[in-house]
Structure 1
Amino acid sequence: MASVDSRPGGPRSPEQRKQEALERLARDNDVWVATADSAGEPCLVPLAFWWDGESVWLSTRDTNPTGRNLCASGRVRLSFGPTRDVVLMHGTARMLTREELPEEVGDAFAAKDGWDPREDHPSYVFFQVTPQVLQAWGTVPELAGRTLMRDGKWVV
């Protein structure tokens, strides 16, 4: 049985999906963060984030699996939104200590989430995630054309 798009008007255009993905990045507070260690052991955790219009900023302890994985490989996948309206980002992460973090980034992160990792345990560090691939889709009819960014450049 074929999947039927339940959205009024049918599948969204790639341009509409891009606009809604950008709105989600600006609006949402949490993201699922997927990493893996050198043996391939996966780790999936929810984290608060801030989107600056070009990068996603995360904070976690450099001593936990996610922090260690990000420091070691710099590879990450982020999943925003529900499964029927997902934004999936593949990116590269670079770690910044609280001393290296631009003050305006730390302030914006804290203002969005209401929590300031700079004032928490000293093992909290920040990660700047630069998107390489961004995809957005809702249901099967939107799978075609789901890639909105490739190699760090918008294709829509």
Structure 2
Amino acid sequence: MTETPAARTAEQRVADTLDRLRTDVDLWVATADADAQPYLVPLSFLWDGESILVSTTAASPTARNLVATRRARLALGQTRDVVLVDADVEASDSVPDDVADAFAAATGFDPRAEPQEYTWFHARPRSVQAWREANELAGRTILRDRAWVTRP
């Protein structure tokens, strides 16, 4: 039997979450269309300290849903070390070259080099939850109304 690790403090959860945002490459993007039909897709991302940048083909269900609803739920990690982000999303046909270069360097993927038209999306976290085990569920919300509950 595996021992459950002690619950992390809020400060440690925020620090761990910010580290994952800086170092992870991929996340899950959940969207829904006007009929509430869900759609889930993995995408590479770049964290700029305030928003999560993703890019996908302009014709994809994800892009259509994000343009229509301007909302998404993003998930990083595994079920026993998860970060869930509810975000407001803004679409853009392009980003500055230095941002696109940073995205390509961090993810190993450059949408500008693809033959299809890609749209860029800035997902600005509205709320963030992070937990590993049941003992962390009570304090899982670490960003509320765009403000961290604490800073590491």
TMscore range, shorter length: over 0.9
Residue number in structure 2 paired with 1:6: 4
Shift of 1:155: 1.4
Which residue in 1 is equivalent to 2:133? Answer: 139
Q: 1:122 to 1:16 in 2, by over 3 A?
A: same
What is the CA deviation profile of residues 95-130 of structure 1, one whole-angstrom value per residue up to 9, with x for unaligned ones? 1112xx122210110001111101113421100000
Are positions 1:45 and 2:66 aligned together? no
C-alpha distance in structure 1 between counterparts of 2:7 and 2:98, whole Å: 38
Runs of 5+ consecutive residues of structure 1 not aligned to the other structure: none
Gap regions ≥5 residues in structure 2: none
- Per the normalisation by structure 2, the TM-score is 0.94
The corresponding residue for 2:87 is 91
Deviation at 1:30, TM superposition (A): 0.4
Match of residue 110, structure 1, among 104, 115, 124: 104
Partner of 2:78: 82
Aligned length: 149
C-alpha displacement of 1:5: 6.4
Aligned residues: CA RMSD: 1.2
- Moved segments of 4+, more than 3 Å: none
Identity value in percent: 48
Q: State the alpha-carbon separation in 1 of the partners of residues 105 and 136 from structure 2.
A: 34
